[in-house]
Amino acid sequence: AAPAEKVPARSPPVMPPFEHRPRPYAGWSGDEILAKRKQFLGSSVFYYYQKPLNIVEGKMQYLYDENGKRYLDCFGGIVTVSCGHCHPDIVNAVVEQTKLLQHTTTIYLNQPIVEFAEALASKMPGNLKVVYFVNSGTEANELAMLMARLYSGNLNMIALRNAYHGGSAGTIGLTGLQTWKYPIPQGEIHHVMNPDPYRGTFGSDAVAYAKEVEEQINYGTSGRVAGFIAETFQGVGGAVELAPGYLKLAYDTVRKAGGVCIADEVQSGFGRTGSHYWGFQTQDVIPDIVTMAKGIGNGLPLGAVVTTPEIANVLAQKIQFNTFGGNPVCSVGGLAVLKVLDKEKRQAHCADVGSHLVNRLKELQQKHEIIGDVRGRGLMLGVELVTDRKEKTPAKAETNLLFEKLKDLNILVGKGGLHGNVFRIKPPMCFTRDDADYLVDAMDYAMSGL
Ligand code: PLP
């Protein structure tokens, strides 16, 4: 049962002003949409909020519902809207390309796809220079796993518990969270302990976790593996930043066993962590394959795999083909995203706003016992709620209640983690210090009412 609610004595905080007038909405009501959705749309049970929101318009870090109510979007369409909702530069690029040529496939030459591939490759360190475009994170990870297996001549993949890598047959196998598991064959995938500093068995001891990778290879495989995949900042798993130093040790171990190292940057790339452009750089490693999606297109259906010429070569012996991957409209959109992120200095902005937000969240943690952990970097943050700090008992009912209360205070955050007790704060990267202050004040207000 949900905990009893108190009403805080003071008045609620006020959302920062924002110059945008949403269009009058004349479409179906939320109730009508919900009724039809239940009837016609698959997976219709999966929506946020007791009364699902009917979101009809977006502008930068704000969303508007059918009544014109403005919400501060702290989740960016699940960490996808990197530059901001309907960012004008991206909208213009997409509209112009749509008028000119909507689609060809890679069987013909066309400038945007190559121009975008070159721009993306220029953002990669080391020898990561060959780009494959796909349509989603799932497809990117599926292709990465294929590359690893072909390149190594081995099938064994190592993945982390608590990871999310996608919803296809292969990537469900890589995923290490019960919610997403289906009873389908998931052969040759071995899940190792999660180097989670807050909940993991060995705390922040990267050496101990990496030792377990070695043990898994020694006892669970013939001693040779195809590859290792990890998000540096687990997203769906609850904004978990891997123990410092872990990836370096794990990569060494995996490479000794003949495997290639895959970084899943679907959520953590493009400067969101503030300190670096890619999440893996926070652990000072260079992967052999990098997968990305979500923020790459600011909402356009786009994903990519970037790898070395040597690994790419294994696919050159057969045809690797994707009808929509690198579609010209998505390519100009993706190119516009890269330009906006540079032009608007979004990485530095994430570092600035993120450190301010983390400091304020840590202050809030001093005040409210329910906050067990504040973690992350830049605008890739998690706040884990517990009923008992020592036992780390997940505060599930309280999280749900606060989630609804924040929505009533015009704030949309994400939820995640195995127990659904982590607020995921990963807004569009144009999120400001004032927005951060409003979020913290609203959390304080809502928590004071518990
Ligand atoms: N990898 C990570 C880290 C993700 O967070 C997700 C989606 O949430 C995926 C892969 C799958 O991406 P998509 O939903 O675009 O298939």
Q: What is the pLDDT of residues 50-73, one digit of tens each?
A: 999 999 999 999 999 999 999 999
Residue 364: what pLDDT?
98
**Closest to 53 in 3D by CA, of 65, 39, 69, 35:** 65
Mutate to test the pocket of ligand 1, among 294, 302, 415, 424 (most ligand atoms within 8 A of CB): 294
Percent with pLDDT over 70 in the chain: 97
pLDDT digits (tens, 9 = 90+) for 343-373: 999 999 999 999 999 999 999 999 999 999 9
Q: Is the pTM of this model over 0.95?
A: yes
Q: What is the mean pLDDT of the segment spanning 189-213?
A: 98
Range with the poorest average pLDDT among 16-25, 151-160, 173-182, 273-282: 173-182
Residue 185: what pLDDT?
85
Range with the poorest average pLDDT among 148-152, 199-203, 323-327, 420-424: 323-327
pLDDT digits (tens, 9 = 90+) for 402-448: 999 999 999 999 999 989 999 999 999 999 999 999 999 999 999 99
Instruction: Give the sign of the dihedral formed by CA 160, CA 300, CA 431, CA 387.
Output: negative
Residue 281: what pLDDT?
98
Sheet holding 70-73, edge to edge: 55-59, 62-65, 70-73, 411-412
CA of 294 to the centre of ligand 1 (A): 7
pLDDT digits (tens, 9 = 90+) for 281-295: 999 999 999 999 999
Whether the per-residue pLDDT at 2 is higher than 80: the answer is no
216: its two tokens:
């898994």
At 46, is the pLDDT very low, low, confident or very high (cuts 50, 70, 90)? low
At 3, is the pLDDT very low, low, confident or very high (cuts 50, 70, 90)? low
At 179, is the pLDDT very low, low, confident or very high (cuts 50, 70, 90)? confident
Whether the per-residue pLDDT at 323 is higher than 80: the answer is yes
Distance CA 264, CA 164 (A): 9
First to last CA, the chain: 14
* Residue written as token pair 């600011």: 298
Residue 345: what pLDDT?
98
Q: What is the mean pLDDT of the segment spanning 299-319?
A: 94
- The ligand 1 atom nearest the CA atom of 78: 8
Residue 5: what pLDDT?
64
| DSSP-derived pairing of the beta strands 422-425 and 414-416 | antiparallel
Q: Which residues line ligand 1 (CB under 6 A)?
A: 78, 136-138, 141, 164-166, 231, 235-236, 264, 266-267, 293
Whether the per-residue pLDDT at 334 is higher than 90: the answer is yes
Mutate to test the pocket of ligand 1, among 266, 267, 330 (most ligand atoms within 8 A of CB): 266
pLDDT digits (tens, 9 = 90+) for 222-266: 999 999 999 999 999 999 999 999 999 999 999 999 999 999 999
Residue 1: what pLDDT?
53
Q: What is the mean pLDDT of the chain?
A: 95
Helical spans, DSSP H, in 46-110: 76-79, 88-100
Distance CA 34, CA 140 (A): 31
**CB-neighbour burial class of residue 27 (10 A; exposed 0-12, middle 13-18, buried 19+):** exposed
Residue 105: what pLDDT?
85
Sorted by sequence, the CB contacts under 8 Å of residue 409 that are 6+ apart come out as 12, 13, 442, 445, 446
Whether the per-residue pLDDT at 321 is higher than 80: the answer is yes
ipTM score of the complex?
Answer: 0.99
pLDDT digits (tens, 9 = 90+) for 85-94: 999 999 999 9
At 45, is the pLDDT very low, low, confident or very high (cuts 50, 70, 90)? low
**CB-neighbour burial class of residue 423 (10 A; exposed 0-12, middle 13-18, buried 19+):** buried
- The ligand 1 atom nearest the CA atom of 268: 3
Contact between residue 221 and residue 189 where contact means Cβ atoms under 8 Å apart: no
